[in-house]
Amino acid sequence: MDKYAIDVTSAFFARFAGSFVAGTVLMQFYILYRGTEGTWAFFNFLFITLLLIACAAFYTTEIDKLGRTEKTSKEGYLSTGALAIMTGVLCFGLAVKIYV
């Protein structure tokens, strides 16, 4: 939290976001073990969530500038935007298997 100049009182929300990521990773391991058949809801949910996070981070950082400091970087929306694009490519590439 020091890297992003976030106060320690936001620890709950940092852990909340980390829990979401941990749940996503665990689900991806489950899909890796079980197979991708019929997992369209997970991939679409992940794509939409990452896209919304990237848009909200871009708006907050570049347009609204809420909470912007000298330590603020473009990392928030660039990384989630790249993940959204990769997830979209996965949804398109795995369409034959996930939309069963």
Q: Quote the CA–CA distance of 57 and 8 in Å, as a whole number.
A: 20
Q: Which residues contact 50 (CB under 8 A, 6 or more apart)?
A: 80, 81, 83, 84, 87
pLDDT tens digits along 49-80: 999 999 999 998 899 888 777 777 888 899 99
Go through 49-80 and write b for each residue having 16 or more CB atoms within 10 A of its CB, e for each that does not. bbbebbeebbebbeeeeeeeeeeeeeebbeeb
User: What are the residue ranges spanned by the domains of the chain?
Assistant: 8-98
Q: Quote the CA–CA distance of 84 and 52 in Å, as a whole number.
A: 9
Q: What is the pLDDT of residue 6?
A: 77
Average pLDDT over residues 6-29: 88
Query: Is 0.75 topped by the overall pTM?
Result: yes
